[in-house]
Amino acid sequence: MDKVLIRELRIETVIGVYEWEKQIHQSLLIDLDMAWDNRPAAASDDYQHALCYETVSNKLTALITEKPIELIETVAEMIATYVMAEFNVPWVKVKVMKPGAVPTASAVGVEIERGHA
In this prediction, residue 46 has a pLDDT band, given cuts at 50, 70 and 90, of very high
CATH architecture of the domain with range 3-115? 2-Layer Sandwich (3.30)
Whole-angstrom Cα distance, residue 74 to residue 18? Answer: 16
Catalytic residues: 98
pLDDT, averaged across the chain? 97
Beta bridge partners of 30: 9, 96
pLDDT in tens, 75-109: 999 999 999 999 999 999 999 999 999 999 999 99
Q: What DSSP assignment string belongs to 88-115? A: --SEEEEEEEEETSSTTSSEEEEEEEEE
For the chain, domain boundaries:
3-115
Q: What are phi and psi of 47, to 5 degrees?
A: -55, -30
Beta bridge partners of 98: 108
pLDDT at 70: 97
